[in-house]
Amino acid sequence: MIIFGVDPGLTRCGVGVIEAGIGRRLSFVHVDVIRSDPHVSQDLRLLSIFNGLTEKMDRFTPDAVSIERVFAQSNRNTVLGTAQAAGLAMLAAAQRGVPVALHTPTEAKLAISGNGKADKPQVERMVAAVLGLNALPTPADAADALSIAICHALRPQGALQGGEREQHLTTAQRQWAIATQKAAKHRGVRSGM
């Protein structure tokens, strides 16, 4: 399964592509940052990001697109640009009939490191370790895109089905599943809904 991870941004949009094989063995395929010129109009910047995303989706033909969920920040302009870039990634995936999943930064940190509050250097080291990279992925947008793709591959309800899924859960995945169940119970929501 080819998973296309996106760390959305208007100036820098991170793209990370991995392959999830049998037993959830993860392999690095590609990482890059699509950039737009902050000195041109926003419509042209969005077009640049969209063209970069479509070119890469056509090149790697993913089975799933995993996008970092936009969260509220104090800077409205940053949130707006990030949300627009996320929408472009969803549109590009929808045009190709590729399913989309949204994951929060906390979910990605938890999936990859077992700690939802891991700092960026720890996440970067774990991304490199999980994918067998000799160097840390750079810039940070690239590492974030790979972590979002890895999160999608490692989530308990990911690519595997039924009993096969339970046989391949790692310690971090089990911790993530337990934390999710506890959070759902805390909110008064039954697990599995």
CA distance 20 to 1: 5
Residue 141 annotated as catalytic: yes
Residue 68 annotated as catalytic: yes
Q: List the catalytic residue out of 68, 107, 124, 144.
A: 68
Q: Is 44 helix (H, G, I), strand (E, B) or coil?
A: helix
Q: List the catalytic residue out of 19, 107, 141, 144.
A: 141
* Residues β-bridged to residue 67: 6, 102
Residue among 112, 67, 71 nearest 85 (CA)? 67
CA distance 38 to 167: 48
* Residues β-bridged to residue 64: 3
Residue 130 region by backbone torsions, left for phi larger than 0, else alpha for psi between -120 and 50, else beta:
alpha
CB 6 within 8 A of CB 86: yes
Cite the active site residues: 7, 68, 141
